[in-house]
Amino acid sequence: MEARSSSSSSSATTPALLLLLLAAALHGGDATPPPVKLAGGARHVAFDEGYTQMFGDGNLALLRHGRRVHLTLDESTGAGFASQDVFLHGFFSAAIKLPSDYAAGVVVAFYLSNGDTYEKTHDELDFEFLGNVRGREWRVQTNVYGNGSTAAGREERYDLPFDPSDEFHHYSILWTPHRIIFYVDETPIREVVRTAEMGAAFPAKPMAVYATIWDGSAWATLGGRYRVNYKYAPFVAEFADFVLHGCAVDPSSSAAAVEHSITAAAAARGYEEAAVLSLSTAANRAAMAAFRRGHMSYSYCHDRRRYPVALSECAAGGGGDLRRVFGPDGMRYDGRHRRPRRSGRDASS
C-alpha cells in the first residue's frame, strides 16, 4: 500500500520545510488573514481543494473564491465541513474568528478525528472553543483521545490573552508518531509526548480534519447553566488560511499497512524532526511555559476528583510547576476562575 499524495499533502517532508511552514502559517492576528507564502508544495488551500461540506445545508457560505468560509448556527441547525482526504500525521491549521456578543452554549471546533471509521476505538485531536455570556471571555480547550479513550480524556482549558471574536487568529496542530504540539498563532501552547505507558491512548490511526459549529447547551457554559439564546442568532464563525500538510492515505487500507508504508514512514520522520526542532530553542520553550503558566484554567493532570490516580504522563512530571495554583478539581484557584460543579465529560470554568 502506498500513501497517496495530493495538492494539500507532501510525501517527502523535510524539517526545514516544516519549520518554514510553521513560521509562515502561524503568523496571524490581523483582522484580515495575512497573505502567506508556503514552501515545497505546502500552501493555503481553497475550500474545494481540500474540504467538503458535512452538514448544515445553507449554513455554510463560501467567500473570496472559497478562501474564507462562514459556518452559522441558528435555531434550525449548525454547520460543519471535513477534509476530502484522511491523513497519517502532519501539520493542520486554520485562521478562525469566533462569533461576537452573547455566545453562551455555542461550541466551535477545529479538530482531527477518525470516529466515522473507528466508532468504538477512534482517535481525536481537538481545539474546542466554548462560548460564554456577554462580558466573559471565550475559552479554548485542547483534547487528546486515542483508541476510544474518551473516558480518560486529556483535556486542558485556557483563557486566551486576546478576544478571539475581534480578529482572526491561527490555531494549528502538528501530529507526529511520537508527539503532538498545539499552537495559537506563533506560540506552542501544549506538547503531548508519547510514552510507553500511554500505549494505544496516543492517536495513531489516520484521521480527517473537521470544523463545526453546534449547540452545546448541555455542557459548554458553566456545566450547562447558560444555554444558547437564539435571540442573538445567527452565530457565525469564520475560517480562512487552511493548511492541510499531511500524508494522505487510502482510508480503505488497514492501519498496519498505512503505518508500514514507505511513503508514510518517510513523511513521519520529517514531521518528527520538525516537531523536535520546533521546541528545541529556549525561547520557544519559555513562550510555551509562559502561556501555560498565565492562561491555563483547567488541567486534567491536577484533577484528583476525576483521576484519583494521575495518568502516567502526569505522574511522570506532566504537572510541572503549576501544582500550587490548581485545586483538586483541576481548576485554577488563584482568584480569577470560579469552580462550579462539572457536568459531563468536561470541566467548567
Instruction: Sketch the domain layout of the chain as residue ranges.
Output: 43-315
CA–CA separation, 325 and 261 (whole Å): 45
Say which residue the cell 468504538 belongs to: 120
In CATH terms, 43-315 corresponds, of 3.40.50.720, 2.60.120.1310, 2.60.120.200, 1.10.10.60, to: 2.60.120.200
Asked about 124 being catalytic, the answer comes back as yes
Say which residue the cell 462562514 belongs to: 70
Helix (H, G, I), strand (E, B) or coil at 330: strand
Give the count of alpha carbons within 13 A of 4, CB side only. Answer: 14
Say which residue the cell 506532566 belongs to: 318
Q: Is residue 166 over pLDDT 90? A: yes
Where do the H-state alpha helices sit in 166-325?
A: 255-259, 262-278, 282-295, 312-313
What confidence score (pLDDT) does residue 120 get?
A: 86
Phi, psi of 70 (to 5 degrees): -110, 125
What confidence score (pLDDT) does residue 327 get?
A: 86
Q: Is residue 143 over pLDDT 90? A: yes
The model's pLDDT over 239-284, given as tens digits with 9 standing for 90+, comes to 999 999 999 998 777 666 766 677 788 888 888 888 888 898 999 9
What confidence score (pLDDT) does residue 199 get?
A: 83
What confidence score (pLDDT) does residue 11 get?
A: 45
Phi, psi of 266 (to 5 degrees): -65, -45
Mean pLDDT of 319-326: 64
Mean pLDDT of 185-193: 93
- Say which residues have a Cβ less than 8 Å from residue 283's Cβ, sequence separation at least 6: none
Active-site position among 128, 156, 238, 272: 128
Q: Would the pTM of this model clear 0.85, i.e. be above it?
A: yes
pLDDT band at 34 (very low <50, low <70, confident <90, very high): very low
What value, to the nearest 5°, has the Cα angle with vertex 236 and ends 102 and 134?
Answer: 10
What confidence score (pLDDT) does residue 174 get?
A: 94
Q: Is residue 53 over pLDDT 80? A: yes
The model's pLDDT over 209-246, given as tens digits with 9 standing for 90+, comes to 999 999 999 988 888 888 999 999 999 999 999 999 99
Q: Which residue has the higher pLDDT, 76 or 152?
A: 76
Beta bridge partners of residue 316, listed in sequence order: none
Asked about 2 being catalytic, the answer comes back as no
- Beta strands (DSSP E) in the chain are 51-55, 60-63, 68-73, 79-83, 86-97, 106-113, 124-130, 139-145, 156-159, 169-175, 179-184, 187-193, 208-215, 235-249, 296-303, 329-331
pLDDT band at 19 (very low <50, low <70, confident <90, very high): low
Mean pLDDT of 130-157: 86
What confidence score (pLDDT) does residue 56 get?
A: 97
* Helices 15-25 and 262-278, axial angle in degrees (round to 10): 60
What confidence score (pLDDT) does residue 202 get?
A: 93
The mean pLDDT of the chain is 83
Amino acid at 229: N
The model's pLDDT over 290-311, given as tens digits with 9 standing for 90+, comes to 999 999 999 999 998 999 988 8
What confidence score (pLDDT) does residue 264 get?
A: 80
Lowest mean per-residue pLDDT among 27-41, 165-179, 303-317 = 27-41
What value, to the nearest 5°, has the Cα angle with vertex 241 and ends 238 and 247?
Answer: 120
Active-site position among 2, 75, 124, 197: 124
Give whichever of 22-31, 195-204, 314-323 has the largest mean pLDDT: 195-204
| Of the candidates 35, 45, 55, 120, the residue with the CA atom closest to the CA atom of residue 85 | 45
Helix (H, G, I), strand (E, B) or coil at 89: strand
